[in-house]
Amino acid sequence: MKLDSKIPEGPLEQKWSKYKKDMKLVAPNNKRKYEVIVVGTGLAGGAAAASMAELGYNVKSFCIQDSARRAHSIAAQGGINAAKNYPNDGDSIWGLFYDTIKGGDYRSREANVYRLAEVANEIIDQAVAQGVPFAREYSGLLANRSFGGAQVSRTFYARGQTGQQLLLGAYQAMMRQVHAGKIEYLPRHEMLDVVIIGGQARGIITRNLVTGEIKSWEADAVVLATGGYGNVFYLSTNAKNSNVTAAWRAHKKGALFANPCYVQVHPTCIPVSGDYQSKLTLMSESLRNDGRVWVPKKKGDDRHPNDIPEEDRFYYLEEKYPSFGNLVPRDVASRNAKIVCDEGLGVGETGLAVYLDFRDAIKRDGRETVEAKYGNLFDMYENIAGENPYERPMRIYPAVHYTMGGLWVDYNLMTNIPGLFATGEANFSDHGANRLGASALMQGLSDGYFVLPATIGNYLADVKPGTRHGTDHTAFVEAEKAAQENIDKLLSINGKRTIVDFHRTLGKIVWDKIGIARNKEDLESAIKEIQELREEFWANVYVPGEKNNYNKYLEFASRVADFFELAELMAKDALDREESCGCHLREEYQSEEGEAIRNDEDFSYVAAWEYKGINGELKEELHKENLEFEFVELKQRSYK
Amino acid sequence: MTIHLKYWKQDGPDVPGHFEEYTLNTVNEHMSFLEMLDVLNEELQLEGKDPVEFDYDCREGICGSCNLVINGQAHGPKAKVACCQLHMRNYKNGDKITIEPPRAAAFPIIKDLVVNRGAFDRIIEAGGYVSVKTGSAQEANAIPIEKEKSDAAFDYATCIGCGACVAACPNASASLFTGAKLAHLNHVPQGEVERSNRVVAMVDQMKEEGFGDCSNFAECEAVCPVGISISAIAEMRRDYMKAMFS
């Protein structure tokens, strides 16, 4: 299979504008003859559904939540980047592009990232016009703040709820089109398969999560905006219902899955307190501006942290990275927390935590100043951890937060299956091996508002309007039957272990062996353990209830089954990539000081995997898309 | 610690429901309320019993999925948090906890503690937006907005759409939810053009959905997990009257 990224020719800064000019258009009177399915209603899906409906396409919008407004984009805290250069601090589209491609450790496409940086300004305009209440200065103009991995202030924010406000903007735009009759809105529906006829994506199969009804939907194009796969780890900062099922089922129908081993682990989360724990809560990265990270120098030092004197404290980030100190990028901070905990220096009941201490900041600036900056975060911490962070250092530990890997797409955001598109976190395209803060919202909305609505027209222009095969076509009938059989099988096993038990066990394998640091031996044993546990799952899982009713555990069982397969692919991908880059640290490829060593000569490619069947072992064929760097020079990142 | 639970079970909107009881001995103070229910469901499944269904997603108090009524209070005893952010350290050994779904004609029960809040979507659909198409926006800083006004708009825009206001209201009114969206858009200049049409469309839709009217009990404000002020309702009524007479 030859992977064609379809990157337009020409200078970097003219590629997108020239391409837009060259793309084929669909006439307004023809747009109404096309049906487009959008799965997922987060920033990428909601924005795409609204924008395509405004253009005149007939859109069907599906989500698993009870309302489009609850998609997990809502939980994003920090902000959204754009190179408006309002602060006059030297920002530019090039600067945003460069920081993003460098932050991704040179494992993304130049053309895609440049387009992202270019489109970002329009997103801010669009959101403001919708009434999104961004933070403002006393002048009445928009405020900016700085974020990790950049030397300028380019992040727009709405308190700590930027994702919520942007999502509500997209949701409201979507509901306007529901009112106009251009969007058929189908919440509490889960996509179980994509249907391909004549090599083109022609529809999907869904399960109605209230009635259990399995149903076919036909369309001219299908857009998957179904988010990331962080919940393969069981514990992550993702919402509980976030899953890989739509993307994975598309993968099993032939869509390539790219870079599955690129997973971002966020360094500042509230640590796990026990087995019952269902999810992890993120504390904003901004805390590292004033908090100092440390562990006791002596193993098993069980003194109250405030009683541990300065000479017995190990400020490991400040010591190892004197120039960036506590503000090293996410991957570096996470990795070092793991290293000190693995050495037995971790704190708290589980030993899997480090201190984030505000004692010195409070002494220096006063409690009021610290409270004004971080009050809501301190309250959140106290509410969850039951300790007062003004008086006792916070305990923090890294947690899985975002997945850079996803369905392989070309410059048009189309997968290798014609008519099947993937946007937002569900695709792999823009963040390389590491995503910078405040870039996820930017990418979701860039794809949804501006890129996909343009590129999908270029595809549809070649599809004869009104082509219908009918949902009684064998491809639909067979896909429906397979979806039904999968559900029947899960319900029939009637084993002894619960779904949560299996998922938690799987998550532990993935976290321990395909987590912050990987090595050949662990990855090989992870593959074996995953295969064995998967076999046990299919023989011994207990799924309660019935299929023709609301049954959340049945939903979970079907999603966990897919996580079992994805987990094996993640291990294979991590094993194949014999280098360290961004969030992917292979212990065999690091310097004596423990810094990641990239191998551009042999691994400057996108690993795109093709599903070849599963029978005890997952069979996948690797295809490589070489990354060409015409405009930037590849450098080793250093934060020393 | 040990907690005595009493929770609502109901198979669908048209069949009668009932309470079931269970004593859970494995609760610890660090668990969130929903994690305590996860543990309940694990035990129920291992005993071959039917787990209790409840809605949740983000578990950080922002998605608005969870909406349990706990001992008669929407989202439970702790002020300004959704029940996913309520922790068991707020309870003590031996406590009795009754869990019900929000009860309102406009929120039909789907199963057990899960209800259909589609009515909220339809209220937004009726007019809860600024009618701006993608691509037609002007430069963002061309619309300066006083910081105070923008901050006030945010205070209303922060509504998570959980429906606690409806559950707490003796009339099952959706006035706080509807008023919050109106107040958000009315406090920014972008919302001004459609102000009159919007208030009429959304208020009429709210009535059509079967929500009651507001009688100023202010229970909604008391239970709101994000602290939306009841002044949103006063503003909504004033605007509605103005629109009717103009």
Tokens for B76, please give them.
């439970």
Picking from B216, B1, B109, the residue whose alpha carbon sits closest to that of residue A210 is: B109
- Which of B111, B136, B161 is the endpoint of a domain? B111
A495, two tokens: 């084993």
pLDDT averaged per 10 residues, chain A (length 640): 94 97 95 98 98 98 98 93 96 96 95 98 98 96 84 90 96 98 98 98 98 98 98 98 98 98 95 92 85 95 95 96 85 91 93 96 93 84 92 96 98 98 97 93 98 98 94 98 98 98 98 96 98 98 97 98 98 98 95 86 98 97 97 84
| Residues B238, B121 share a domain | yes
pLDDT in tens, B71-107: 999 999 999 999 999 999 999 999 999 999 999 999 9
What structural domains does chain A harbor? 33-264+402-460 (3.50.50.60), 265-400 (3.90.700.10), 474-626 (1.20.58.100)
| Cα–Cα dist B61/B84, whole Å | 6
Q: Which residue has the tokens 């966020």?
A: A266
Q: What is the pLDDT of residue A592?
A: 81
* Rounded Cα gap, residues B107 and B147, in angstroms: 37
Checking if the pLDDT of B69 tops 80, the result is yes
DSSP string, A233-302: GSSSSS-TT--SHHHHHHHHTT--EE-TT-EEEEEEEPPP-STT-----B--GGGGGT-EEEEESSTT--
Answer yes or no: are the C-beta atoms of A36 and A220 closer than 8 Å. Answer: yes
Q: What is the pLDDT of residue A288?
A: 86
Contact assessment for residue A446 and residue A119, using Cβ atoms and an 8 Å cutoff: yes
Whether residue B149 sits in one domain with residue B71: no
Output the domain CATH number for residue B142.
1.10.1060.10
Examine the fold and report which residue of B49, B80, B111 is the final residue of a domain before the chain moves on: B111
The structure tokens listed for B75 are 């989202």
User: Taking 90 as the threshold, does the pLDDT of residue B23 lie above it?
Assistant: yes
What letter represents residue A28's amino acid? Answer: P
A199 in contact with chain B, both atoms CB, cutoff 8 A: no
B195-208 and B231-245 helices, crossing angle to 10°? 110
What is chain A's Cα-based Rg?
24
Whether A330 is catalytic: yes
Burial label, B86 (beta-carbon count in 10 A; 0-12, 13-18, 19+)? buried
Contacts of A219 (CB under 8 A, 6+ apart): A35, A36, A37, A60, A202, A203, A204
Nearest CB neighbour to B58, from listed A133, A135, A239: A239
Which tokens sit at A590? Answer: 């690091």
Q: What is the pLDDT of residue B156?
A: 98
pLDDT of residue B56: 98
B153/B204 same-domain check = yes
| pLDDT bracket for residue B234 (50, 70, 90) | very high
* Same domain (yes/no): B38, B147: no
**For chain B, give me the number of helices (H) and strands (E)?**
8, 7
Q: HSE of B215 in the Cβ direction (CA atoms, 13 Å)?
A: 7
Average pLDDT over residues B135-143: 96
Whether B179 and B95 map to the same domain: the answer is no
- Residue B188 token pair: 């920014």
Query: What per-residue confidence (pLDDT) applies to B165?
Result: 98
Nearest to B65 among A65, A141, A545 (CB): A65
Task: Find residues 407-436 of chain A whose CB sits inside 8 Å of chain B.
Answer: none
Residue A330 · residue A286 · CB < 8 Å: no
Q: Tell me: do B122 and B145 sit in the same domain.
A: yes
Residues B13 and B52: their CA atoms lie apart, in Å, by 16
Count of structural domains within chain B: 2
DSSP element (H, E) containing A527: helix A520-540
CB contact under 8 A, B130 and A138: no
User: How many C-beta atoms lie closer than 10 Å to residue A638's C-beta?
Assistant: 9
Domain boundary among B111, B142, B176: B111
- Read off φ and ψ for residue A258, nearest 5 degrees: -105, 140
**Based on the domain organization, do B147 and B84 belong to the same domain?**
no
From the candidates A207, A330, A518, A559, which is the catalytic residue?
A330
Tell me if B201 sits within 8 A of B163, measured CB to CB.
Answer: no
Q: What is the mean pLDDT of chain B?
A: 97
Report the residue of B62, B114, B131, B155 to disrupt the A interface, i.e. the one with the largest count of A CBs within 10 Å: B62
Q: Do A501 and B42 touch (CB under 8 A)?
A: yes
203-232 of B, contacting A, C-beta below 8 A: none
- What's the pLDDT score for residue A15? 98
Give me the count of residues in chain B.
246
Alpha helices in chain B (DSSP H): 33-46, 118-127, 147-157, 164-168, 175-186, 195-208, 219-223, 231-245
In whole angstroms, give the CA distance from residue A505 to residue A560.
11
Top residue of A552, A553, A556 to mutate, by most chain B CBs within 10 Å, is: A552
Instruction: Tell me if residue A220 falls in helix, strand or coil.
Output: coil
Is B125 found in the same domain as B232? yes
Q: What angle do CA A21, A26, A29 make, to 5 degrees?
A: 140
Q: Is the domain of B102 the same as that of B34?
A: yes
Residues of A in contact with B154 (CB under 8 A): 133, 158-159, 165
**How many angstroms separate the CA atoms of B246 and B17, rounded?**
48
Region B145-154 average pLDDT: 96
Of A66, A86, A128, the CB nearest to B117: A66
Q: In a 3-state reduction of DSSP, which class is residue A58?
A: strand
Residue A51: phi and psi, rounded to 5, are: -65, -40
Among A245, A209, A210, residue whose Cα is nearest residue A227: A245
In this structure, the answer to whether residues B172 and B56 fall within a common structural domain is no
Nearest CA in chain B to A174: B125
- Judged by a CB distance cut-off of 8 A, whether residue B25 touches chain A is no
Tell me, yes or no, whether B95 and B154 share the same domain: no
CATH number of the structural domain spanning residue B8: 3.10.20.30
Measure the CA–CA gap between B241 and B246, rounded to whole angstroms: 9
Residues in chain A: 640
Gap between the Cα atoms of A347 and A304, Å rounded: 10
Which of these, A115, A68, A251, A212, lies nearest to B110 by C-alpha position? A212
- The answer to whether residues B163 and B132 belong to one domain is yes
CB A81 within 8 A of CB A148: no
* Separation between Cα atoms, residue B62 and residue A166, nearest integer Å: 13
What distance in Å separates the CA atoms of residue B14 and residue B108, rounded to the nearest whole number?
9
- For residue B98, give its domain range: 3-111
Residue of B nearest to A238 (CA): B58
Question: How far is Cα B9 from Cα B19, in angstroms, rounded to an integer?
Answer: 6
Å between B82 CA and nearest CA of chain A: 12
SS3 (DSSP) at A216: strand
- Which amino acid makes up residue B112? D
